[in-house]
Amino acid sequence: MGIGLTFWGVSEPLLHYDDPPLGLAEPKTPEAADLAMQYSFFHWTLHPWGIYAVVGLAVVGLAVAYLSYNKGIKDLRISRAMRPLLGDRVEGPIGAAIDVLAIVATLFGVAVSLGLGTLQLDAGLEAAFGATSGTTLQLIIIGVTAAGYMLSASTPIEKGINWLSQASMVLAAIMLVLFFVLGPSILQLNAMTEGTGRYIGQLIPTSLRMSAFDPDPWLGDWTVFFWATWIAWAPYVGVFIARISRGRTIREFILGVLIAPSIFSMIWFSVFGSTALDLDNQLGGALSAAATRDEAVALFTFLEQYPLAIITSTLFIILIWIFFVAGADAGTVVLGSMSAGGALDPSVFVRLVWGAVMAALAAILLVAGGLPALQNGAILAATPFAFIMVALCWSLQRTLSGDYRKQMQARGDQTNAPPPDHRGRHHERPEPVPGADRDDQRHGPHAPPRHDWARARVRVARAYPRRRMDADDRRLLPGDGSDHPTGASGPGPRRRRHHVLGRGAERVRRAQHRARPARGGLLAAGADVRCVPPADQPAGARRRGSDQRRVPQRAGDRDRTGCLRLQRA
């Protein structure tokens, strides 16, 4: 993607400005400039990253990463992500065919990237240092670059690819800031704002436009070529991102692969593309004419319009070469992993072999026809793998849906569980049986096991021991009129309820329903039981407990409710 941004960052807006897409505007007009920025965003922001990142990474990468790291699959082969659909058949010829198609698509995708980088390096060396452009120089560039990425492939990822990636991003950020300061900053900001609005507003119509009744080769030359390139790169970049994304959540994966690169692509085209359009108006169409002759020359023709063109051209050549080496190095790792049975760390020999094959394929495509050959190779390799991506989407959706149902079921069981006991433990609540009445469910043949609740009652009873009721206690319960002071009659003593109550609730319930008799038997006929406010309690009462209750020193002066019993005179 780094090579693509540097190759097309200047040339694509200029070509759309000179020849508007699908004839939707007049060339060299403000409407053509707006359309050029809109379609540049369309080709390089959410849509390409939607195929390349969401489908390529979040389906290939996320499917491989999720199914490998979360489901115990021990390798990163594309066929392993199809196990939810194919089962054990991924171990047979079907799985082997899927892996072969992924390897072919990856090989052509990397070769196309190397070919584009070679073309731009060839143009940059000619523009900056006067080198003779042609097939010989291109083959030399491929040979030197192959030596560089094969040397990087022989080192661990954290040393080779990691250093190259960080160096390329730092250098790209420096060049971006430099031309934002040197260029028309206000125009760049306005172009980004307007281009983003037009892109979002026309997102769905532009995505579905196929020129059914007015066929135009423009779609095949631009949109289809770009999308085929993203699909061809999908297994390559997807598996590599999956390899380095262990421990990331799905949300972090999507945000890091889809949103952040799209914003960077918008900023890149807003800085370089809008500045190139403004310069083309000032130069009378010289930049667009150069881009029409050769897309690779447009960037260096653009750099010649600014001071220190030799330095900036050299920095861009170094940046393209670093992108070149880093991308090819990652390609050797991915191809080696897929061809070595999904090994996370393929051997150095396997990486070097694939590095030589990639260089040879890129050289063959360049000698055969240059950029058109690269475009046709990308479309040819991406077509069969597009169907595999659809199956990967289905496989990933089934896997995530199954896991989501399990999580919701576990969460629902926890939500519908009975309240915890005094120790914070949850106990299983029996499910109702359809077709059985309430009594049958509780006591009949459909009665669920009750051992958990019985054990809970035993634990509560042991934690909160209760004094056994005697005959005197039963006589004083409400509704028992045999020895009640008022002589009222009632239905008889109530049975104790086996509620799980705390200390405070138990005290209140006992205070409401019964009173403990005085020492020596029942209350006398002339006894008066009433509660005395704390201020009126005897001086001999002492404080006990954190609730500052007043308790008499003599046990016989206090009933079960905490009230004082006073004798009538």
Answer yes or no: is pLDDT of 259 > 80: yes
- CB-CB contact of 129 with 113 (8 Å): no
Mean pLDDT of 170-181: 94
Look at residue 334 in the predicted model and tell me its pLDDT.
Answer: 81
pLDDT category, 23, cuts 50, 70, 90? confident
Transcribe 47-106 into DSSP letters.
Answer: HHHIIIIIIIIIIIIHHHHHHHHTS---S--GGGGGHHHHGGGGGSHHHHHHHHHHHHHH
User: Based on the number of CB atoms within 10 Å of its own CB, is 140 exposed (0-12), middle (13-18) or buried (19 or more)?
Assistant: middle
β-pairing verdict for 527-529 and 565-567: antiparallel
User: Could you tell me which residue, 143 or 160, shows the higher pLDDT?
Assistant: 143
Task: Choose between 120 and 534: higher pLDDT.
Answer: 120
Most confident of 42-51, 99-108, 283-292, 487-496: 283-292
Rounded distance between C-alpha atoms, residue 291 and residue 12, angstroms: 8
CATH topology of domain 2-409: Amino acid/polyamine transporter I (1.20.1740)
The DSSP result for 360-381, as a single string, is HHHHHHHHHHSHHHHHHHHHHH
Of 557, 554, 560, nearest in space to 476 by CA: 560
Name the band, by pLDDT with cuts 50, 70 and 90, for residue 247: confident
Q: Any long-range contacts for 369-375 (C-beta under 8 Å, 24+ apart)? A: 370/119, 371/115, 371/116, 371/119, 371/295, 374/111, 374/112, 374/115, 374/116, 375/112, 375/221, 375/225, 375/228
Higher per-residue confidence, 399 vs 45? 45
pLDDT at 457: 45
Position 59 pLDDT exceeds 60: no
Q: What DSSP designation does 564 have?
A: B
Question: pLDDT grade, residue 187 (50/70/90)?
Answer: very high
- Exposure on the CB side of residue 321, measured as CA atoms within 13 A: 20
Closest by CA to 395, choosing from 101, 108, 98, is: 98
Phi, psi of 161 (to 5 degrees): -65, -40
**Cβ atoms within 10 Å of 446's Cβ, excluding its own:** 15
Q: Is pLDDT of 174 > 90?
A: yes
pLDDT band at 549 (very low <50, low <70, confident <90, very high): very low
**Mean pLDDT on 280-296:** 91
Please report the pLDDT score of residue 547 as a whole number. 40
Q: What is the mean pLDDT of residues 257-263?
A: 86
The average pLDDT across 178-188 equals 94
Fill in the amino acid letter for 225.
F
Q: For 460, phi and psi rounded to 5 degrees? A: -65, -40
- In contact, 18 and 285? CB cutoff 8 Å: yes
Q: How far is CA 386 from CA 166, 192, 393, in A?
A: 31, 32, 11
pLDDT at residue 67 above 60?
A: no
Residue 130 has pLDDT above 80, yes or no: yes
What backbone torsions phi and psi does residue 562 show, to the nearest 5 degrees?
Answer: 90, 5
Q: What is the pLDDT of residue 70?
A: 60
For residue 363, is pLDDT > 80?
yes
Residue 327: pLDDT band with limits 50, 70, 90:
confident
Q: Using 50, 70 and 90 to split pLDDT, how confident is the model at 387?
A: confident
pLDDT score recorded for residue 487: 41
The CATH 1.20.1740 domain(s) of the chain lie at 2-409
Average pLDDT of the segment spanning 451-478: 45
Output the average pLDDT for the chain: 74
pLDDT tens-digit map of 401-452: 887 888 887 776 555 555 555 555 555 555 555 554 444 445 555 454 444 4
Supply φ then ψ for residue 440, to 5 degrees. Answer: -65, -35
Instruction: Indicate the pLDDT class of residue 20, thresholds 50, 70 and 90.
Output: very high
Euclidean distance between CA atoms 366 and 112, whole angstroms: 9
Q: Return the structure tokens found at 93.
A: 């010829």
pLDDT attached to residue 271:
96
For residue 39, give Cα distances in angstroms to 24, 217, 225, 247, 262. Answer: 11, 16, 14, 36, 14
Supply the pLDDT for residue 238. 72
User: Which of 510 and 500 is assigned the larger pLDDT?
Assistant: 510
Q: Which residue has the tokens 């900056």?
A: 128
Write out pLDDT tens, residues 192-237: 999 999 999 999 999 998 888 888 889 888 988 888 888 877 777 7
Statement: residue 500 has pLDDT above 70: no
Higher-confidence residue of 333 and 188: namely: 188
- The answer on pLDDT for 471 being more than 70 is no
